[in-house]
Chain A
């Protein structure tokens, strides 16, 4: 049975279509990532799934149930909420309560739950037990928000940008929390801006733009869809020699695609050892001088750029 199934989701605000006919299926036990630039509609989508935002059209099914059964705020909805763990992008928990008091408050809403100590151990916040929420660091607050989502022993966990603004170490800690939750059989739907996070954590990702899914698959599949595993980026010193035309670059051995950008040109490349010497030779013949040359393994970021022509982070 699918943990999440939705189809035809539409949500319009005054002047934007935040979600434009979205289709998703997330299998039980899967970790699914929603990826996209600011304003892509990730939060709107996840909040519709969570039953917090009313869609203009479309159908949502979670764990075989639908929202609004038995009236809004009714018993059926509460029964479904018992099985979900939710972390919202913007929630600020009460500053003047301690970590333990906050978890205990959330815990009290559920019939079955972890103890306060268990869940604080899960997110490694034990030593902050008695600290006021207002005095926590950003990363600690995020972990507390995740603790409040986990306290109910959910079957399905929704995380909206759980690691935004965290340092690499805190981010890794949170990944560990999510992995452990999955290892115990949980299903996760998360949104993120971080490609690395999606690649490491998610079984499948959907790349969103302008309220639509523009690509869907495992991170491997999506990267493979570029047709090459490497990206070579270079930039030239202004005014030195003649800049090669995209067609010339595309004709180089091993090059699959060319993406000229404002400050640099990116080549999707199947074989770096063939493409780079050929590129250098071409530039030398043109009298052009490199100011930058870099290569990396293709990422989801490159997938997004190749699909939209924009960078993900500042699209």
Chain B
């Protein structure tokens, strides 16, 4: 009985992948480790107690006591030398110099310091008898979906789709080329399309494991939910995986050595790691850069993933980012097929 070449090629791809423990770690383990570490490090716990230094001078203890009375502040009396080092190293957010007038010394570009200034001023003014003129009531809420981990998980998903698409295709193709295996395949009646399709198929099969691992982890560990439909999420990830597999094909289309393809791969991925809003919002970049940043495939993919996971947006309203993702994929594959070095 005859084996189907596409099936055998795809099986070979998958075997080569799952028999490589390092590859398994980078595709499945690493994103989970990253999600776990960042999720813990940046969990929303508020600014905590703000540390405030009071310079040793007449009247320092009264001031320190007044500051300590505020639940948001912790005050310590410091010599000028100590005060300078602690201020410089960021251990105190604000230094209060006793006297008349009182002096607040702080770095106004630091959010923490500005907060400390407000809180400290409030505490000291009240201690000296300033009355509250309007009555207020605090209502505290934490909105799931607004935490850092909610932002992070879709970003990691996008980054993972990019990484495994580029590495999974690029590395294997170039390795086959350097080992003259590609040439050996060309010496058989194998169809070139089967060879390239086998990468796409094996990517799609592993894709579902990748998504399940990361989304499942986010949900179990941090309660990160998917607000939109799973169908929409699946569709976007498939599109993302195909697009990046195409980009991987392009990157690998001519490189003859692993070093060359690694360099190219980093050249393609590094800007997107930084610019595409995986770890922090790309709105922090200057306005002039925004059109460029938004045109990157990972930016578009991350936007679409976040829209579905966090905001529950439907597919119909995601036409623009999905078109960008698909466009990159289509152009990459088109160019790759034209310039591909088959031996």
Contact = CB atoms under 8 A, between A and B. Distances in A.
Interface of A: 50-52, 73, 78-79, 81-82, 84, 86, 88, 90-94, 96-97, 101, 104-111, 113, 132, 148, 152
A92 B9 CA distance: 17
B184 interface: yes
Contacts of B180: 88, 90-92
B190 A109 contact: yes
B16 A109 contact: no
A73 B3 CA distance: 21
Interface in B211-242: none
Given A91-B179, A94-B12, A97-B12, A108 B3 contact: yes
Contacts of B185: 109
Contact of A92 (B4, B11, B181): B181
Interface string B1-36: 011110111011001100110000000000000000
26 contacts: A50-B187, A51-B187, A52-B186, A78-B189, A78-B191, A79-B189, A84-B187, A86-B187, A86-B188, A88-B184, A92-B181, A93-B181, A93-B184, A94-B176, A96-B15, A97-B12, A105-B9, A105-B11, A106-B188, A107-B3, A109-B5, A109-B189, A110-B188, A110-B189, A132-B19, A152-B188
A78 B16 CA distance: 27
B343 interface: yes
B194 to A, nearest CB: 9
Nearest to A51: B187
A81 B5 contact: no
Interface of B: 2-5, 7-9, 11-12, 15-16, 19-20, 176, 179-181, 183-192, 343
A88 B179 CA distance: 11
A52 B183 contact: yes
Nearest to B188: A109
Given A91-B179, A91-B183, A108 B192 contact: no
Nearest to A94: B16
Nearest to B192: A73
A46 to B, nearest CB: 11
A97 B16 contact: yes
B15 to A, nearest CB: 6
Scoring A101, A105, A113 by chain B CB atoms within 10 A of each residue's CB, the highest score goes to A105
B16 A96 contact: yes
A122 B228 CA distance: 58
Given A73-B192, A81-B188, A82-B189, A108 B183 contact: no
B12 A88 contact: no
B22 to A, nearest CB: 12
B179 A108 contact: no
B179 A52 contact: no
Scoring B3, B5, B16, B188 by chain A CB atoms within 10 A of each residue's CB, the highest score goes to B188
Contacts of A79: 189
Given A94-B12, A108-B8, A110-B189, 7 more contacts: A50-B187, A84-B187, A86-B188, A91-B180, A97-B16, A105-B9, A109-B189
A253 B314 CA distance: 101
Nearest to B184: A91
A96 B187 contact: no
Contacts of A52: 183, 186-187, 343
B1 to A, nearest CB: 9
A86 B19 CA distance: 28
A106 B181 CA distance: 11
Contacts of A152: 188
Contacts of B176: 94
By Cβ-Cβ distance, the 6 closest A-B pairs, closest first, are: A108-B3, A78-B189, A108-B8, A92-B179, A86-B187, A81-B189
